[in-house]
């Protein structure tokens, strides 16, 4: 399998709008991934949602008909935990986020605290966000803690519309502290590097596949991989035509079901 003259041995897939829509797989996705697995390709699934564990995300995919294991799932929480552990080994981390973010950090030997002092503050999705949490995060950053965000997503799609995304909470902390966070999730270079490293192959032998130009495709470009946009989610062909050359994907496909056909060419 080759793309752009390079053999593709690993794939990083977005989830919503690329492989699944709600509780169901997008037609052709399960079959395409089964074919890639049969050929020995490495598979990773990347989500910006820091409020679900790797196991929970894998279970959701499998229930929809897309085979997945927890080890194949990468989340923004996992990327953030790895970064903080490298920078502050066994450090204290104050979080704004759901239990899975705490689990990811503690798995790296970090101490999760609810009040300053802290070496770092990590802001993720938190449906129980309060003024007290905002104040604690700001106090830690004012006192010198590093400021990280799992992502800057403005909103999240749900049944019947949208809900505010993690970015809305991050912006509150950023505004109060006059600080800019280091973003761990898509489309950051940290997310792309983590995804490629987990596959154990060079970036030129990896393809990032997703439905959003500014998230999935941009992450792949920053990481130096091949990029494939599928038209089953957010971005359209018109978006591609209007995009600057640096954001245009290597391929635009109707859906993931056409991926093996593209690779064969």
Query: Is there a single domain that holds both residue 192 and residue 102?
Result: no
Task: Tell me how far apart the alpha carbons of residues 74 and 42 are, in angstroms, rounded to a whole number.
Answer: 13
Query: Is there a single domain that holds both residue 174 and residue 233?
Result: no
Does the residue 198 lie in any domain? yes
Query: Is there a single domain that holds both residue 168 and residue 236?
Result: no
pLDDT for residue 3? 56
Does the residue 36 lie in any domain? yes
Q: Give the three-class secondary structure for 207.
A: strand
Does the residue 196 lie in any domain? yes
Global pTM reads 0.92
pLDDT for residue 72? 98
Query: Is there a single domain that holds both residue 28 and residue 109?
Result: no
In CATH, what number is assigned to the domain containing residue 202?
3.40.50.1000
Does the residue 54 lie in any domain? no
How many structural domains is the chain composed of?
A: 2
Strand partners, 47: 75
Does the residue 222 lie in any domain? yes
Token output for 165? 């995304």
Final residue in a domain of this structure, among 183, 198, 217 = 183
Final residue in a domain of this structure, among 183, 201, 225 = 183
pLDDT for residue 5? 47
Q: How many CA atoms lie within 13 A of 223 on its CB side?
A: 35
Domain that holds residue 44: 2-48+186-264
Query: Is there a single domain that holds both residue 190 and residue 179?
Result: no
Active site residues: 14, 16
Rounded to 10°, the helix 99-106/76-87 angle is 40
Task: Tell me how far apart the alpha carbons of residues 18 and 8 are, in angstroms, rounded to a whole number.
Answer: 19
Does the residue 139 lie in any domain? yes
Whether the Cβ atoms of residue 48 and residue 73 lie closer than 8 Å to each other: no
Query: Is there a single domain that holds both residue 89 and residue 28?
Result: no
Does the residue 208 lie in any domain? yes
> What is the chain's pLDDT, residue by residue, as a tens digit (265 residues)?
455 445 899 999 999 999 998 899 999 999 999 999 999 999 999 999 999 999 999 999 999 999 999 999 999 999 999 999 999 999 999 999 999 999 999 999 999 999 999 999 999 999 999 999 999 999 999 999 999 999 999 887 666 778 899 999 999 999 999 999 999 999 999 999 999 999 999 999 999 999 999 999 999 999 999 999 999 988 999 999 999 999 999 999 999 999 989 988 7
Query: Is there a single domain that holds both residue 173 and residue 200?
Result: no
Does the residue 66 lie in any domain? no
Query: Is there a single domain that holds both residue 13 and residue 35?
Result: yes
Query: Is there a single domain that holds both residue 89 and residue 178?
Result: yes
pLDDT for residue 163? 87
Nearest to 89 by CA among 114, 123, 119, 122: 119
Token output for 35? 């074919």
Please list, in sequence order, all residues whose beta carbon lies within 8 angstroms of the beta carbon of residue 110, skipping any fewer than 6 positions away.
81, 84, 85, 88, 90, 91, 92, 93
Query: Is there a single domain that holds both residue 43 and residue 86?
Result: no
Final residue in a domain of this structure, among 160, 183, 206 = 183
Query: Is there a single domain that holds both residue 147 and residue 135?
Result: yes
Task: Tell me how far apart the alpha carbons of residues 227 and 11 are, in angstroms, rounded to a whole number.
Answer: 10
DSSP code of residue 93: E
Query: Is there a single domain that holds both residue 176 and residue 90?
Result: yes
């Amino acid at each position: 399998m080759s793309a752009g003259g390079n053999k593709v041995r690993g794939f990083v897939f977005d989830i919503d709008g690329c492989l699944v829509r709600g509780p169901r797989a997008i037609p052709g996705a399960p079959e395409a991934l089964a074919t890639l697995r049969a050929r020995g390709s490495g598979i990773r699934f990347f989500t910006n949602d820091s409020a679900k564990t790797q196991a929970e995300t894998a279970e959701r995919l499998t229930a929809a008909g897309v085979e997945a294991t927890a080890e194949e799932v990468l989340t923004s929480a996992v990327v953030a935990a790895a970064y903080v552990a490298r920078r502050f080994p066994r450090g204290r981390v104050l979080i704004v986020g759901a239990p899975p973010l705490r689990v990811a950090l503690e798995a790296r030997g970090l101490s999760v605290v609810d009040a300053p002092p802290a070496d770092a503050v990590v802001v993720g999705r938190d449906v129980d966000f309060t003024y007290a949490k905002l104040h604690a995060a700001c106090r830690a950053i004012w006192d010198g803690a590093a400021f990280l965000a799992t992502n800057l997503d403005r909103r999240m799609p749900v049944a019947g519309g949208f809900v505010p995304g993690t970015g809305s909470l991050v912006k509150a902390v950023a505004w109060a502290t006059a600080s800019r966070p280091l973003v761990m999730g898509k489309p950051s270079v940290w997310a792309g590097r983590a995804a490629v490293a987990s596959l154990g192959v060079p970036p030129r032998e990896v393809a990032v596949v997703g439905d959003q130009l500014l998230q999935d495709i941009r992450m792949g470009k920053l990481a130096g991989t091949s990029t494939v946009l599928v038209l089953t989610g957010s971005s359209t062909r018109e978006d591609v035509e209007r995009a600057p050359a640096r954001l245009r994907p290597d391929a635009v496909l109707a859906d993931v079901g056409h991926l093996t056909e593209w690779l064969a060419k």
